[in-house]
Structure 1
């Protein structure tokens, strides 16, 4: 057996073992009894053991398991206070840490992608990875500039980030995600109402794009051009790309996770503002939306700008954000319940023949979610997000019962997931900003 199949088999065994552990047996044994909030039927100790076991295994894995854990990590702000601590610690590890690829394997990939003389491209290359992610790891290096020639001056060598794709990453992603789909019940034990299957399905559908580093380079170039000279957002330049290797400008800065953990309130507020600007402005400026908003993909640069990395996952929005979103948001804030219901039917969020929904009740259901744009300023907090998670996620809640009559059209799936992820990060930051003004500037249809 070669190394790649052996590692894949080890991942599968680890994932398959999860439901057989103490927490898994207890949770699965409860089965259909979980009809209210988890604390009604599951002790905090069992919830904690479930999370510790689950995320401990995820943290040891590459491939789909780690990618899934990273995507899920932005939602930890919605967890109850008494459970959030150990979850936060385990989830944060998923954002920028993974077992490194052996040096010999790194060199093998470099030779395959750049040629046997790959070292000629670098003045320096650090064999120890600076960061590791779900399908690849990043090395710091110095890219050697071409020698001066006729009409061409010598330019300085550049410090770069070299992202190397793990051999067999595609197979690992598919295998891990297939296994993870069996564990949905465990996540519901951690957070009632949490349905991870749509997230896993979406991740599986996007594997092909994320494995193509040349496509990622094309996307990053579009972001780099769209934010050239911008006072708020900075996207590193692409230096070289092959199918399994991506070389980009290196950026130094404070990881967003460090701002979340130790930043001052002023730093948190500004980081939240910058995240919101990126989310709403990118579709208009680039025709794209950064679709992987976990904190490991962002840095606060020394000059205060938000540095953005990792463009493997994007939503392609050539026409910008959907105009109906802004228009219906404005109608909801204006209290026009009938127009909101009609618009949601037209967009496919409500079935035309559903007579269980009345317009005033639907508007009452929606307004708490729209609090960030009701006032001129709003502070996202963990408490606010937890309150919404309870309201929308508990089967005992009237809001939960109403939500069962709503549909999420396929064209909105990714946009919804990214927006929820961004809200999770803003709630981790507990950031106050003038979000309404950002929405007014960038969301089509919101302001006349």
Structure 2
């Protein structure tokens, strides 16, 4: 093992022992940020993910971990000035002087610290990467890969540990490239910023995205953007979301669902330090180092799976859908016994995590439990998880944790389900997967034909959960060609069934009258 890696192992062991000591005593929890921070950015990311899950790790520990988002020990301002000059060259001299004039940073996180500064009379945020973190992450990545390979060789764990490590480390390297972050920011702004193409689908006043300021250049370790004045969602003594601020979290969830289902461009790191609540009721998204792209086919499949799981509880159809989305290898898909086993496993997972109300409706669920139950099926059925899966799951899990800190009864499926059903009813992209599934859901199992009754039941579900009049939901669907085609097919099927019933009744009546005539004769 190279000397640098051995030294890193020593650092991790010393810092890890300190983390265990601090975390074991709640009275020392305030020192946890410094202890985890000493492990470096790789491990701080795990702490950030847990910082919004007080329902899992306990509120005291979660509150302490929230400091990893933007309250870690800062590096010196002199070193920050040096990094700006190294990264931007002569073009960035004005940025370096602005950092020097700004004094102490306003926030310090695992990868960078941020200065509130003035450039050409404008208040800006200057983000400067921590020194020497790339070398640290290089060593961590090598060690994690060695560990994952060793785990896989034992044969005791069927999960593809090395793939998971490679995915995690790849995303970490992406976050360390601020040129990539600049491109992500501009793309996200074009979708969800002021006049963004997807902004109109969100509740008002919507999302604010900082403007990239690239006149001084954009480096791999330095980025300048507009300063957004706001308050952290998780601010306050408890570090949780105030009950009065639940509408902010719901706006964040609406934006995340739009990203996950509509546009496929997803801010995959929406922790408390990256989302600000604004005085006008809107939200500001910050830090675009981790933005993933979800393919159209997978977005369609997610919508369909949610509807099949909740509206019809059709676990066999969900299993087949996984196959259509190429999440299951052919050897499993073509094995009937394996597919039956998958259907049974999905039903068991749903029964264990989804609590359906007696009168029907959306089940109560904790997202992390449902996700855990599904991930447990990965090694058994050789699921091929796409690279963005864990990041997107973490994004939803983080927002759910914020919402639950404000309202313990918050149910994320009650937000996801009506959003998915609206998408299914309209099918704006003309997806063949959605086209097939919506007809499955609109089919009456007794008659095995499309039913206006089933269609109305779907409209009623969406209307109640989305607090939107049923005619409004129907009108939105009918604006799209697919929605109009679906209604036409349902009405045509109902008319055909009515004619068949009338014909059948007429034939029975005619047969009875004929029998009576013969008897009289």
Q: Give the number of equivalent residue pairs.
A: 386
Matched with 2:299 is: 322
- Pairwise mapping of residues 63-212 of structure 1 onto structure 2 (< 5 A)? 63-79=41-57, 84-116=58-90, 118-120=92-94, 125-144=101-120, 157-179=121-143, 200-212=165-177
Distance 1:282 1:169 in 2: 30
After superposition, the Cα gap between the structure-2 partners of 1:60 and 1:169, relative to the gap in structure 1 and judged at 3 Å, is closer
Q: Deviations over 1:108-162 (max 9, x none)?
A: 1122233357453566841311111222111111121xxxxxxxxxxxx321110
Rg bigger for which structure? 2
Aligned to 1:239, what secondary structure does the other structure show?
coil
- How large is the Cα RMSD of the aligned pairs? 4.3
Q: Distance in 1 between matches of 2:70 and 2:51?
A: 11
CA distance in structure 1 between the partners assigned to 2:421 and 2:19 by the alignment: 50
Matched, 1:362 2:346: yes
Q: Which 5+ residue runs of structure 2 have no aligned equivalent?
A: 149-158, 200-204, 428-433, 439-482, 484-521
1:409 to 2:387 alignment: no
Shift of residue 400, structure 1, vs aligned partner = 9.1
Aligned residue in 1 for 2:419: 438
Alpha-carbon deviations, 1:312-365, whole Å to 9, x = none?
111123638521121122122212232222222343555333267163552342
Greater helix share, 1 or 2? 2
CA change 1:366–1:247 in 2 (3 A) is: same
Q: How does 1:268-307 map to 2 (within 5 A)?
A: 269-283=246-260, 287-307=264-284
The 1-side partners of 2:384 and 2:141 are apart by 23
In the alignment, the residues of structure 2 paired with residue 405 and residue 416 of structure 1 have an alpha-carbon distance, to the nearest angstrom, of: 18
CA distance 1:371–1:201, change in 2 (3 Å): farther
Q: Return the alpha-carbon distance in structure 1 between the equivalents of residues 72 and 188 of structure 2.
A: 27
Counterparts of 1:257-272 in structure 2, within 5 Å, are: 257-258=234-235, 261=239, 263-267=241-245, 269-272=246-249
Q: Which moved more, 1:116-125 or 1:135-144?
A: 116-125
TM-score (normalised: structure 1): 0.71
Note the alpha carbon deviations across 1:223-258, whole angstroms, 9 max, x for none.
Answer: 111113343211111012222210011111121222
CA distance in 1, matches of 2:356, 2:71: 32
Q: Structure 2: how far apart are the matches of 1:308 and 1:339? A: 37
Distance in 1 of aligned mates of 2:275 and 2:400: 13
C-alpha offsets along residues 417-448 of structure 1, whole Å, 9 cap, x if unaligned?
A: 42244224323431547503334446874867
**Alignment partner, residue 509 of structure 2:** none
| CA 1:168–1:401: 2 relative to 1, 3 Å | closer
Larger RCO: 1 or 2 (CA < 8 Å, sep 6+):
1
Gaps of 5+ in 1: 25-44, 145-156, 185-193, 393-398
Deviations along 1:206-238, one digit per CA (max 9) or x if unpaired, are: 243222211110110011111133432111110
User: TM-score, normalized by length of structure 2?
Assistant: 0.62
The residue matched to 2:388 in structure 1 has which SS?
Answer: helix
Paired residue for 2:459? none
